[in-house]
Structure 1
Amino acid sequence: MTRLRTIFLSIAAVLAGLFVAVTPAQAATSQPCDIYGSAGTPCVGAHSTIRALYAAYNGPLYQVKRADGALLNIGLLSPGGIANAAAQDSFCLNSTCIINEIFDQSPRHNDLTIEGAGGAGNADVGSPANALPVSVGGHTAYGVEISSGMGYRDNSTSGVAVNGQPEGMYMVASATHVNGGCCFDYGNAETNNQDTGNGHMDAVYLGLRCEFGGCNSSGGPWVAADLENGLYQSNTGTQASDPGPGIIPFVTAMLNNNGQNHFALKRANAQTGGLTTTYSGSEPTVKTGYSPMHQEGAIVLGTGGDNSNADVGSFFEGVMTAGVPTDAADNAVQANIVAAGYGGSNGVPGGTLTPGSSISLRATTACCTTRYIRHSGGDAITSVISSSSSDLDRNDATWIIRPGLANSSCVSFESKNYPGDYLRHSNYQLHRQPFDGSSLMAQDATFCPATGNTGQYTSFQSYNYPGYYIRHYNATVYIAHNGGSNPWDTTSLWADDTTWQVSSPWA
């Protein structure tokens, strides 16, 4: 696809309160692709919707497509800096947008477009552009949230390793949004969207899939190498001693492969600390065809090589290199990622319903005024939360106000510690789930605030179920109708149970 490199106009008017006030972003002095290039392994792919991966880069990061078909390239706040998320917010206001294309910042121009049909999956759809707001360096930016049936690809690349050539790659992803489907990958894949045999892929994976057994039962997700027809944590497939990075919001996942007889896997917390090498040794030995490798040189994001697209995942940045990077270069890149300052969704402490504000929701029923809405195991419940509560409990009880996913005059509640996950109702009960871009979920996750049903504080009416309000009942949270047919619709204490105090956030 021809790249449209446009000059972006400054957007002066955005949703009030949506962004934290920060000083203008400054150009970086050295970014991941500068580091790799100086070490003799230049980037041949550099993809991010979050930030520049070269200090001098000042082009577009990605393109959004609005529901009416209009397109906009999203650039940077400054050269080498952070994405201009305000431009996206203005363009997509009162509409929906998808990420239509992710531009390659390297001179190779290996841009990723929405993936077509393959041997294991129908043509994909684009990720919703506003599904994954995060902060980096104090600025809001949007990641790529992959749900089943989403993915990106470039089958006609330049400079990417083929036929046993050496290469390296990393991605920054999230361990809070994973499953066991195949396969949340970033890296080298087949050029025809088909499974063409062992060794025809060389991509880094993050998820819960354990194809060879023996994985640490208390661990996961795991970083693995998708080398086609196998997710390898080692030459035997499994790496039983590695518990994985843990359920943390930002993970650095690295794969290096000399294409002949050796590959290595590394992982790290993308917010702090250094790399851990989980495997360094021979190519797989439990099956044949991997030594040497047979890479074809396509680049895939979010699916397997044959468009196996049952996976979920969150992608923030990733690069591919010509040649295997040195350990010193990998370590320097990890330090750069940490220094970038990845954080959870920006929330302006203040306890208001202004978009961007972080809040907690306190019950007002006389029995329960120390209880707050929090998520637990994916379900919305009420729990007693206080200053002595654990960090986890206080984070679980904190939400970020977002413009309503189905109607921007209403609100949606994004989890503070699970970026991209929202409160939504399903079969009347409220759950915390990742936004999948569907119209149904957008509506289920949109609530319209009004004066509390008791005459004070606030009540939240379901956008797509008028007359149903967020209610706590036996410590579980539902949408409830006064006098309806469900047990939680009882008229007893209905007004009290559907009235909430919007308070300062616990986290």
Structure 2
Amino acid sequence: MFSRSSLALGLLATSSLVVAGPCDIFATGNTPCVAAHSTTRALYSAFTGSLYQVQRADGNKTDIKPLSPGGVANAAAQDTFCSGSRCLISIIYDQSPRGNHLTVAPPGGFKGPGARGFDNLASATAAPIYLNGAKAYGVKVTKGIGYRNNVGKGVARGDAAEGMYAVLDGTHYNGGCCFDYGNAETNNLDTGNGHMEAIYFGNSREWGSGAGKGPWIMADLENGLFSGANQKNNPGNPTISHRFTTAILKGGPNKWALKGANAVSGPLATLYNGARPRAQGYNPMKKEGAIILGIGGDNSNNAQGTFYEGVMSIGYPSDSAEDQVQADVVAAKYSTGAQ
């Protein structure tokens, strides 16, 4: 049962003022964020720091902050800085106190198309959207683009419990490996079953699938994309392709869950909730604590997708906390046009 204070923390006031951001909600549930990444908005109600950094073709860089504490990103500042030039997203800052910033992914089992085998950076202007009527930009990943942090501070390792969510473009995906956000290897290589725990979104069928043609929200646990207890197909995991999609993954000792929702309206749906996969190597888990976005654990970079916001927590979040986070996302009013 929630206390009056925790209930108040989860409530949303007006469209312009959020009493509690996603990371405030998780902290109240004793599963604090250890990573909070977004180019669209602040994920703590009082956050005023830098959300991301953009780099112009001439090499000059600037940081983009929210318009107000806990608010939407200052897209006008980016537009002014990038006017007449190509701009890339060079850093996605971690809003949590851990400082787990995301920068361009280095080469691993797969090499990127950039200098010295690094991946490419995403265009700063390729994914314009609106939150509560204010313009913002997402991170549009195409083949060869990827971000990583191999020294994640406070991120779950081994069989420790963690949670994560992401808001994604449910219509931008492919079957390539692997459009992920979450926990991965620290050496950019495939180090075996159970060494990853990351949200996957796409319609790859090689390592796992759900019902219909996809796309699916699945868990990349390394050497397997899991949509449920089975290593391959789990028909109870539906095709999900909302324009704005909420994806949730959490895992602990011999338990894990997947959830999904329309990020614009409605509650979360549980896609799987149960024991670890039956296949060998996934119980106990052997998570390593790096953080990836847009790539697989070995830097597989053939996927595409668009990321707007996401966090990683330490500890196994409660269903109630996740419900409040979904309500917070809905209240952000993601849309494709000004309202």
With structure 2 as the length reference, what TM-score do the two structures score? 0.92
How many residue pairs end up in the alignment? Answer: 319
Contact 2:148 2:291 in 1 (8 A): yes
Distance 1:54 1:145, change over 3 A: same
4+ aligned runs moved over 4 Å, structure 1: none
Give matches, 1:41-190, under 5 Å: 41-122=31-112, 123-190=118-185
The answer for unaligned runs of 5 or more in structure 2 is 1-14, 113-117
Deviation at 1:248, TM superposition (A): 2.1
Distance 1:302 1:223 in 2: 14
Aligned to 1:298: 290
The answer for unaligned runs of 5 or more in structure 1 is 1-24, 348-507
Give the match's secondary structure for 1:63: strand
Aligned to 2:263: 270
Distance 1:35 1:83 in 2: 20
Of 254, 258, 265, 2:248 maps to: 254
Give the match's secondary structure for 1:90: helix
- Computed over aligned residues only, the root mean square deviation of the Cα atoms, in angstroms, reads 1.3
Distance 1:54 1:214, change over 3 A: closer
Give the match's secondary structure for 2:126: coil
State the Cα deviation string for residues 94-148 of structure 1 (Å, max 9, x = none).
0000000000000001000011111023221100000000000110000000000
Give matches, 1:438-477, under 5 Å: none
Contact 1:74 1:88 in 2 (8 A): yes
Distance 1:80 1:214, change over 3 A: closer
State the Cα deviation string for residues 284-304 of structure 1 (Å, max 9, x = none).
113x11111101100000000
Amino acid in structure 1 at the alignment position of 2:109: G
Give the match's secondary structure for 1:338: helix
Contact 1:64 1:97 in 2 (8 A): yes
Deviation at 1:239, TM superposition (A): 1.8
Distance 1:99 1:190 in 2: 23
Distance 1:133 1:94 in 2: 17
With structure 1 as the length reference, what TM-score do the two structures score? 0.62
Aligned to 2:9: none
Give matches, 1:360-439, under 5 Å: none
Comparing 205-214 with 116-125, greater Cα deviation is found at: 205-214
Give the match's secondary structure for 2:181: strand
Give matches, 1:325-340, under 5 Å: 325-340=317-332
State the Cα deviation string for residues 253-279 of structure 1 (Å, max 9, x = none).
000100x21110000000000011011
Distance 2:47 2:210 in 1: 41
Higher relative contact order (CA 8 A, sep 6+): 2
Amino acid in structure 1 at the alignment position of 2:258: L
Distance 1:284 1:121, change over 3 A: farther
Larger radius of gyration: 1
Deviation at 1:212, TM superposition (A): 4.7
Of 217, 228, 241, 2:222 maps to: 228
Distance 2:126 2:193 in 1: 35
Deviation at 1:157, TM superposition (A): 1.6
Amino acid in structure 1 at the alignment position of 2:149: D
Distance 1:30 1:210 in 2: 38
Give the fraction of aligned pairs with identical amino acids, expressed as a percent. Answer: 52
Amino acid in structure 1 at the alignment position of 2:267: G
